[in-house]
Amino acid sequence: MVIGKTSILIAFIALTAAIPHASLYAAGQEGHTSGGSSASAVSSVQQTPVFSSMPGPGEKVTINDDYYIVYGFDKKPKMGAVILKVTVYTKDGNKDTSLEVAADSGMPSMRGAHDTGDLPMQLSRKKEYLLPINIVMPGEWEIRLTIKKSGTVMFCGNHRFDV
């Protein structure tokens, strides 16, 4: 009986070694370009955005030559809900609401555990972009802002704070 099982096992190993291996997702062609070079495939992949460190709340943050923002919270960040406020200004100091502002919050030391994900901020009647943030535990927290115009990213910035 042992010799029979051993023979079957050897035959199975020989058979699997003789069959050419196909990739796991051979049926789909996602991510493949016909006739393209590997450089073109790499250029089509989106890169992770780089977030620059922003000055503290209430200070002017330059986006580009045409825009700047001022951000802050409705109260000093502590356990519970706080509201992140972002106001966009044109270079001449007028409030602007033409940009898309999204924010993410979480704990850098626990990436993914408490992150909100990139959420669009809601525009208030005062022309401020608002997003509630739920601070669930003490420690270092981070907000990350992404500002777009017509779908194109203009600015990515972050600010870390302790609770």
Q: List the chain domain ranges.
A: 52-162
Whole-angstrom distance, CA of residue 43 vs CA of residue 94: 38
Find all residues with CB under 8 Å of 51, minimum gap 6, and list them.
144, 156, 157, 158
- Would you say residue 32 has pLDDT above 50? no
Distances, alpha carbon 3 to alpha carbons 8, 67, 122, in Å: 9, 79, 72
Per-residue pLDDT tens over the stretch 82-118: 999 999 999 999 999 999 999 999 999 888 777 888 8
- Would you say residue 55 has pLDDT above 70? yes
Report the percent of the chain where pLDDT is more than 90: 62
Asked if CATH classification 1.20.1050.10 holds for the domain at 52-162, the reply, yes or no, is no
pTM for the whole structure? 0.68
Q: Which amino acid is at 36?
A: G
